Amino acid sequence: MRGMAVPMLMLMVSPVMVSAQSNVPPAALSDTQLPDARQEAEARALMETLRCLVCQGQSIADSDADLAGDMRALVRRRIAAGEQPEAIRAWLVQRYGSWVSYDPPLDAVTWPLWALPLLLLVIGAVVARGSLKRRSRR
């Protein structure tokens, strides 16, 4: 009876796994490179700097998420239409927020992201200096 538990569990879970897959076909340019090598290089460089909103730890260039594929297709379509990468980035930031960019602009919302590393360095230097002073007094 115990030997049947794992196969039965797999039979029960497999329909859930299959239904979790998207039935929507990928966007036309999500996995297809542009014919113009210069445009593809521009699109690829931009895609490397944009965060996948589903995976969060990957760029849209590296993600397999459907939304990342749609964003890759959008970037390629706009690059092929002659739009500048910074204009595309600005549109995506306006639509999804500055979090979509791996290099968020310095503004009222993101200043802690920029200030925190510097603050931690200063605190570390103060702690290290205090520790060294105590050692030298002994």
Query: Mean pLDDT in each 10-residue stretch from start to end of the chain (138 residues)?
Result: 58 51 59 87 94 88 90 94 95 89 77 86 94 82
* Cα 71 from Cα 53, distance rounded (Å): 10
Angle of CA points 92, 47, 38, to nearest 5°:
115
Query: Is the full-model pTM beyond 0.75?
Result: no
Backbone angles phi, psi at 25, to 5 degrees: -65, 150
Which of 59, 35, 33, 31 has its CA nearest to residue 47? Answer: 59
Give the number of other CB atoms < 10 A from CB of residue 31. 11
- Output the pLDDT for position 16: 47
Beta bridge partners of 51: 59
- Output the pLDDT for position 106: 75
Name every residue whose Cβ is closer than 8 Å to that of residue 109 and which is 6 or more positions away in sequence: 98
